[in-house]
Copies of this chain bind each other. A is one copy, B any other.
Amino acid sequence: MQFELTKEYLSEIREASAASDENRLIGLFNEVHAADIAEIINELTTEEAKTVLHFLEPDRASDTITHLDEEDRKDLLNAYTSVEIAENFVENLETDDAADLIQELSEERREEVIAQIDDIDQASQIVDLLNYEEGTAGAIMGKEMVSVYEHLSVTESILELRKQAEDIENVYTVYVTDEKDRLKGRLALKKMLVAPTSAKIKDVYVSDIHWVKAGDTTEEVASIMEKYDLVALPVVDNLHRLIGRITIDDVVDVIKEEADRDYQMASGISEDVESTDSVWVLTRARLPWLILGLIGGIFGARVIGLYEADIQLYPEMAFFIPLVAAMGGNVGVQSSAIIVQGLANNTMGMSGILPRLLKEFSVALLNATACAIIVLGYNIIFGDSLNLAYTVSLALLAVIVIAALFGTLIPLTLDKYKIDPALATGPFITTVNDILGLFIYFMIGRLMYGM
| Residues in chain A within 8 A of chain B (CB atoms) | 1-2, 5, 7, 10, 31, 33, 35, 42-43, 69, 158, 161-162, 165-166, 168, 170-172, 188-190, 192-194, 208, 210-212, 220, 223-231, 248-249, 252, 255-256, 259-260, 262-264, 266-269, 273-276, 279, 282-283, 286-287, 289-291, 293-294, 296-298, 300-302, 304-305, 308, 311-312, 315-316, 318-327, 329-331, 333-334, 336-339, 341-342, 345, 347-350, 356, 359, 362-363, 366-367, 370-371, 374-375, 378, 400, 425-427, 430-431, 434, 438
Can you identify 22 A-B contacts, CB atoms within 8 angstroms?
A: A10-B350, A33-B210, A42-B349, A161-B193, A161-B194, A162-B194, A192-B193, A226-B252, A255-B255, A259-B260, A263-B266, A267-B333, A268-B330, A268-B334, A276-B347, A282-B359, A282-B363, A290-B367, A294-B323, A322-B434, A326-B434, A330-B427
Nearest chain B residue, comparing its CB with the CB of A69: B347
Q: A43-B349, A263-B259, A341-B263 are in contact. Are A275 and B356 (CB under 8 A)?
A: yes
How many Å lie between the Cα of A186 and that of B342 in the bound state?
39
Cβ B308 vs Cβ A316 within 8 A: yes
Cβ B231 vs Cβ A231 within 8 A: yes
Chain B residues whose CB sits within 8 angstroms of the CB of A333 once the complex forms: 267-268, 426
Cβ A293 vs Cβ B327 within 8 A: yes
Least CB distance, A40 to chain B, in whole angstroms: 10
How many Å lie between the Cα of A44 and that of B338 in the bound state?
23
Nearest chain B residue, comparing its CB with the CB of A2: B224
Chain B residues whose CB sits within 8 angstroms of the CB of A294 once the complex forms: 323, 327, 371, 374-375
Q: A193-B193, A266-B266, A266-B267 are in contact. Are A347 and B165 (CB under 8 A)?
A: no
Nearest chain B residue, comparing its CB with the CB of A407: B267
Chain B residues whose CB sits within 8 angstroms of the CB of A298 once the complex forms: 323, 375, 378
Cβ A290 vs Cβ B371 within 8 A: yes
Cβ A158 vs Cβ B193 within 8 A: yes
Nearest chain B residue, comparing its CB with the CB of A190: B171
Partner of A208 from B31, B225, B248, B289 at Cβ < 8 Å: B31
Cβ B334 vs Cβ A276 within 8 A: no
Nearest chain B residue, comparing its CB with the CB of A400: B290
Q: A172-B231, A290-B371, A322-B297 are in contact. Are A248 and B252 (CB under 8 A)?
A: yes
Chain B residues whose CB sits within 8 angstroms of the CB of A287 once the complex forms: 366-367, 370
Chain B residues whose CB sits within 8 angstroms of the CB of A316 once the complex forms: 305, 308
Cβ B347 vs Cβ A275 within 8 A: yes
How many Å lie between the Cα of A95 and that of B420 in the bound state?
40
Partner of A210 from B1, B227, B337 at Cβ < 8 Å: B1
- The complex is assembled from copies of this chain, and their number is 2
Cβ A334 vs Cβ B289 within 8 A: yes
How many Å lie between the Cα of A274 and that of B342 in the bound state?
6
Q: A286-B334, A318-B311 are in contact. Are A327 and B297 (CB under 8 A)?
A: yes
How many Å lie between the Cα of A349 and that of B151 in the bound state?
54
Cβ B337 vs Cβ A170 within 8 A: no
Chain B residues whose CB sits within 8 angstroms of the CB of A426 once the complex forms: 333
Least CB distance, A398 to chain B, in whole angstroms: 15
Cβ A326 vs Cβ B323 within 8 A: no
How many Å lie between the Cα of A339 and that of B326 in the bound state?
23
Cβ A1 vs Cβ B212 within 8 A: yes
Nearest chain B residue, comparing its CB with the CB of A31: B208
Partner of A371 from B230, B275, B291, B339 at Cβ < 8 Å: B291
Cβ B283 vs Cβ A366 within 8 A: yes
How many Å lie between the Cα of A256 and that of B276 in the bound state?
24
Nearest chain B residue, comparing its CB with the CB of A383: B301
Partner of A33 from B228, B255, B349, B375 at Cβ < 8 Å: B228
Nearest chain B residue, comparing its CB with the CB of A36: B227
Partner of A348 from B275, B323, B329 at Cβ < 8 Å: B275
Q: A42-B349, A260-B259, A274-B347 are in contact. Are A227 and B35 (CB under 8 A)?
A: yes
How many Å lie between the Cα of A171 and that of B434 in the bound state?
55
Which 6 residue pairs across A and B have the least CB separation, nearest first?
Answer: A297-B323, A267-B337, A259-B259, A229-B249, A301-B319, A275-B342
Least CB distance, A271 to chain B, in whole angstroms: 11
Chain B residues whose CB sits within 8 angstroms of the CB of A291 once the complex forms: 370-371, 374
Nearest chain B residue, comparing its CB with the CB of A281: B363
